[in-house]
Structure 1
Amino acid sequence: MGGVEIVTHYMAKELSILGHEVHIVTSEEITERDEDFSDDMFSDNKFYVHRLHLPFMTVISHNSILKSMLFIFTAFMEVRKIRPDIIHAQNFMPSIPAYLSKIFFNIPYAICVHTEKFNLTGWGIVLPLFLKKYWPSLPYIKHSDMIFALTDNARLEVQKYLNKNSITVPNGVDLDLFKSDQLESVAQSDIPKIACISRLEKGKGIECALHAMRLIVKRYPNSKLIIIGDGLIRQELENLTNSLGIKKNVEFIGEVPNYDIPKYLASVNIYLLTSFREGFSMSLLEAMAFGLPVISTPVGIAQYILNGCNNGYLVPIRDPHAICEAVVKITENPEIKVMFSKNSAEKAKEYSWSKIIKQYEKGYYKIIYRDSGDIW
């Protein structure tokens, strides 16, 4: 289950707790990794998952235009049956069936942008880069009732490139699952034990973590780096690990269910984010909630959190030496380590899902009761 799916789960859960009837419409099939987010885990009958079974999936590619068209049609037909008061579209593709539902059934909709720098990459067939100057005129953008952005940077991009005002609402974190019970063990450790949680793909900077680890091992021979996640370049990264001579210090865990993440975070004392570009890193919030000092590149929300709450070090992109220096500073200065750890745990409390969901709820009410002066 990816980041957007996890976010959707928690949003639905919290909205259901607040008394709303919530329907998730998705084309994703449930897998063994998703058993902690099973469709029947709520007993209050206000949380429903509608899994779309797209035809011809055995003969079309995963990212094909045909699959997108099938999703748009089947999602629209499912919404036709549900007839909700409002639609929340996670990213741009679901905004098309949401737009059609507004045209035919007068159902308002909001879009949540889960990425930054979409102006550099576009968004598939929905926001093609070569039609960039026409993005504000695309009907599913133009007629959206509200756009949510996860960060202020994304909000400014929406305003500049989509010509739409938006509201910043960050992701949240499950404070029941990710608890800061490890503060004492983090403070006492004098050997760097580092965690990276990331898809293994270009642009995530995991190779920089490996090069940094080669430097760290020279100073701390028993140091450890665990890498949680999987992806297309895993074998390439494992080969690099071997060539750098740090195989015994690095462990590739692979992809694990979200509920298993805490046991791995409990085994480390530093969290490392090496991405070249990032929107809102959920793994960063989860590590903070666990009370871990953070080392991160200045991407997405990380630069604002680290600058604002003093819970770690920002390092330049593609700079293994800076990562190594930050690890040494944290490891050899117990007072700094304790301060970073406490600040991480305290800051994470601001992002509890029970608080974040009320910001979304407020936005929904503003849309539904747009003519009323009592809301917002």
Structure 2
Amino acid sequence: MRILHVCDSLNPAGVGGYESYLHHLSRVFASEGHEAFVVTQSPSTDSPEFVARPHYRLFHLSGNLLEARKWKFLSLPENERSSAARSMFSNNDISADVHVLTSQLRTLVRDLSPDVIHAHSTYVVFNRVLEGLRRQGILSGIPVLATIHGLPKTLVLPGGETTTDYEQLAQSCPFDRITAVSECVAAALRERLPERSVNRIQLLYLGVDISVFRPQRQVKKHWDLAFFGRIEQAKAVDLLPDMMVSLRTRFPDIRLVITGEGSYRRKFLDELKKRDLMGAVSYLGVVPIEKIPDLLNEVRIFLYPSREEAFGLSLTEAMACGVPVITTSVFGPSEIVTHAHDGLAMKPGDLRGLSEAVRELLSDSRLRSRLGQNARKTVEKRFDLKKHSEQLLLLYHELRHAHRQS
């Protein structure tokens, strides 16, 4: 089967849940003889049109370079963005982008002849492109489904209009089926999408490749704690400096490793310096996806204290490696972790609770071992990527059959 994945945006640094998900999913599909392609908007003016990845081909469509301008805008210091926005964006940017991308994707679909098109969190741009191609009859016989990876969030469009991504999705929702990565996402979609789309929503948890993310025996633990992900306040990384200060009294040699990138990075690193924590924290920046399993096996405890999280792919990756986790008791993580069985869960934003959970685990190696072993079993039972891919293929075949019948 030829599968075309479509994404409004992929982080050019390679940081993010569905960037990792598509990487590992494509590997599983390739091992079963399927062919995967990924298309997204060009993140810079000099992005190559085509990139050959180990298990899939990545295509960059330029559109009107709206995505490239967005990433350039986000690279600016926050105090410069307001004035820069007026010169970088215009009111008709989205319609102009959709117009160009419709032509570009039409050509690509004709060249690749996909059996199915699988969109990922296409809220603003490619949902409208796919809707246009359907009206033109270009996608006749090709099922189109979407996976929604996030909870609703506020967007400011190029013309300055404030909206939400779900509101934009509700305006253009050309999908035969919509899979939600967690029940909290499914509930949010049911509440916000028009009635005609609600009956197309189904829950389908993401999966982790448990042959890649697995416990490695006799590996030296270089760090006590780890956080891997986007460095944003929504991920509660702002709690980590105060947490480290409170823990160093009892654990003077405590070590934390952090990977990732994000808008809060500069301020976060400044906070570490102010608290004289740079010697206790290793910031590795953006780490290649292939190196994450080894790094996870070199830590004692994985921290995932997000204030709001749709699912928690990094969380399940750590659990698959048998690493005990500390997370929050809300949204996606609450559907993954059972407190005191396969991890510890705290209220979001609870600095004291986070610090106490770390103290408890660092002081009890038997508890760490029990939680880590149970975490691995949880992923094997509920979040195995092989089983997830089988469910996806069944869904693809079901939708293809429905299209042939109609």
TM-score bin (small chain): 0.7 to 0.9
Residues 249 and 130 (structure 1), Cα distance of their counterparts in 2 relative to 1, 3 Å cut: closer
CA distance in 2, matches of 1:131, 1:244: 37
CA drift at 1:53: 4.4
> Is the alpha carbon distance of 1:131 and 1:52 closer, same or farther for their aligned partners in structure 2, counting shifts above 3 Å?
closer
1:115 alignment partner, SS class: coil
Cα contact 2:304–2:328 (8 A) shared by 1: yes
- Once the two structures are TM-superposed, the CA of residue 124 in structure 1 deviates from its matched residue by 5.2
Name 1:33's counterpart in structure 2: none
The 3-state SS of whatever aligns with 1:19 is coil
Percent of pairs with identical residues: 22
The alpha-carbon distance between structure 1 residues 72 and 368, as it changes in their structure 2 partners (threshold 3 A), is same
**1:35 — aligned with what?**
none
Quickly say closer, same or farther: Cα 1:300–1:77, change in 2 above 3 A: farther
Asked if 1:112 is matched to 2:158, the reply is no
2:104 corresponds in structure 1 to 74
Structure 2 partner of 1:212: 243
Match of 2:4 in 1: none
Q: Distance in 1 between matches of 2:144 and 2:67?
A: 32
- Which residue number in structure 1 is paired with residue 395 of structure 2? 363
CA contact (8 A) 2:215 2:320 kept: yes
2:26 pairs with one of 12, 15, 18 = 12
Whether 2:319 is the aligned partner of 1:292: answer: no
**How far off is 1:96 after superposition?**
2.4
Letter in 1 for 2:61: L
Tell me, in whole angstroms, the C-alpha distance in 1 between the residues paired with 2:121 and 2:67: 25
Q: Which of 250, 254, 257 is matched with 2:281 structurally?
A: 250
Matching residue's letter, 2:210? L
Is the CA contact 1:195–1:227 (under 8 Å) kept in the aligned structure 2?
A: yes
What is the rounded CA distance, in whole Å, between the counterparts of 1:333 and 1:249 in structure 2?
21
Determine if contact 1:316/1:322 at 8 Å carries over to the other structure.
yes
Contact 1:209 1:274 in 2 (8 A): no
Cα contact 2:361–2:368 (8 A) shared by 1: yes
Deviation of 1:61 (Å): 4.4
Where does 1:30-109 land on structure 2 (aligned, <5 Å)? 39=52, 41-42=54-55, 47-54=56-63, 60-62=69-71, 65=93, 68-69=97-98, 70-92=100-122, 93-103=125-135, 104-105=137-138, 106=140, 107-109=142-144
- Aligned twin of 2:181: 150
Q: CA deviation at 1:26?
A: 2.6
* 1:25 partner letter: V
Please state how far the C-alpha of 1:55 moved relative to its aligned partner: 6.0
Whether the 8 Å CA contact 1:202–1:233 is kept in 2: the answer is yes
Contact 2:243 2:355 in 1 (8 A): yes
Contact preservation (8 Å) 2:236, 2:307: yes
Cα 1:71–1:277, aligned 2, differ >3 Å: closer, same or farther?
farther
Q: How much does 1:149 deviate? A: 0.6
> Gapped runs of 5+ residues in structure 1?
31-37
Matching residue within 37, 40, 46 for 1:26: 40
Question: How far is the alpha carbon of 1:136 from its aligned partner?
Answer: 7.7
1:331 and 2:362 aligned:
yes
| Cα offsets for 1:250-288 (capped at 9, x unmatched) | 221111111122332232100001221112222111111
Residue of structure 2 in register with 1:168 after alignment: 203
State TM-score, norm by structure 1: 0.82
Change (3 A) 1:102 1:305: same
Partner of 1:303: 334
Pick closer, same or farther for the CA change 1:88–1:211 going to 2, 3 Å.
same
Give the SS at the match of 1:232: coil
Would the aligned equivalents of 1:194 and 1:268 in 2 still touch at CA under 8 Å? yes
* TM-score, normalised by the number of residues in structure 2: 0.77
| 1:157 positional shift | 1.4
Distance 1:41 1:169 in 2: 26
> How far off is 1:54 after superposition?
4.6
Taking the aligned partners of 1:153 and 1:301, their CA distance within structure 2 comes to: 7
Match of 2:216 among 163, 181, 195: 181
RMSD, matched Cα:
3.1
Say which is worse superposed, 5-14 or 153-162, in terms of deviation: 5-14
Q: Which whole-Å CA distance do the structure 2 matches of 1:13 and 1:159 have between them?
A: 32
For residues 133 and 193 of structure 1, the distance between their equivalents in structure 2, rounded to whole angstroms, comes to: 39
Letter in 2 for 1:121: T
The offset of 1:16, in angstroms, is 3.3
